[in-house]
Structure 1
Amino acid sequence: MTADDSFGRLDDDDYPAYTMGRAAEMLGTTQGFLRAVGEARLITPLRSEGGHRRYSRYQLRIAARARELVDQGTPIEAACRIVILEDQLEEAQRINAEYRRTAESAGPPVA
């Protein structure tokens, strides 16, 4: 992999670019919180060759949403479940909108 390939990955939302320490710092939380959302199966960090957890921007957004809920008093397990359901709903809405666009571009059914 060249340096250009590595820099190109920084635009990838799923590229695990952040260490646990940096991720916790960015979220304004603790490493323990990140471990807890991992144990609740909200996010699964990738592991570096040395076995260290690495997080993507997408995972940090998900963890940040869980942190908002926890900060509002929601137990962490419930917060994680809510975030999972929100994510599933968003994906279903995206797929539904895509189907609608496809159906509209196809025109009315032929009789």
Structure 2
Amino acid sequence: MTADNPLDRLDDDDYPAYTMGRAAEMLGTTPAFLRAIGEARLITPLRSEGGHRRYSRYQLRIAARARELVDQGTSVEAACRIVVLEDQLEEAQRMNEELRAAASQPQHSTDA
């Protein structure tokens, strides 16, 4: 398969493959919820040539986490902030682990 093959997009988590209606259906929520988390800037859907919102699988996973928090009684705004903070924490932990792994590697001396 070449890089220009449209079928390659099937495995792309960032490809905006889902319409708002389909995304809402998959998440068991409403288009209004997706608009609300978009307004809160948790996710920014891409727009089709006709101006319709399109969502990626990655965005749907983020939206699903926000919906989970809202279902537990958290406001949409707070849920969005929690999801952002969880993502930042996960990234910081990943970076910390990489730094620890690099620090545990033997250092080569450049002194002659």
Instruction: Find the counterpart in structure 2 of residue 16 from structure 1.
Output: 16
Considering fraction of residues, name the structure with more helix.
Answer: 1
Bigger Rg, which one:
2
- Once the two structures are superposed, residues 15-65 of structure 1 have per-residue CA deviations (whole angstroms, 9 ceiling, x without a partner) of 111111110000000000000000000000000111110101110000000
Partner SS state of residue 54, structure 1? strand
Amino acid at match of 1:9: R
Deviation at 1:103? 2.3
Instruction: Find the counterpart in structure 2 of residue 35 from structure 1.
Output: 35
Give TM-score, length-normalised by structure 2: 0.89
Amino acid at match of 1:24: A
The equivalences for 1:40-79 within 5 A come to: 40-79=40-79
Aligned positions, number: 108
Q: CA RMSD in A?
A: 1.8
Moved more, 4-13 or 23-32: 4-13
- Counterpart CA distance in 1 for 2:65 and 2:28 is 12
- Counterpart CA distance in 2 for 1:55 and 1:22 is 9
Deviation at 1:102? 2.2
Amino acid at match of 2:11: D
Partner SS state of residue 10, structure 1? helix
Alignment gaps of 5+ in structure 1: none
Give TM-score, length-normalised by structure 1: 0.89
- Counterpart CA distance in 2 for 1:12 and 1:91 is 20
Alignment gaps of 5+ in structure 2: none
- Counterpart CA distance in 2 for 1:29 and 1:51 is 21
Partner SS state of residue 93, structure 2? helix
- Counterpart CA distance in 2 for 1:99 and 1:8 is 33
Taking only the aligned residue pairs, the percentage that are identical comes to: 80
Partner SS state of residue 49, structure 1? coil
Amino acid at match of 2:25: E
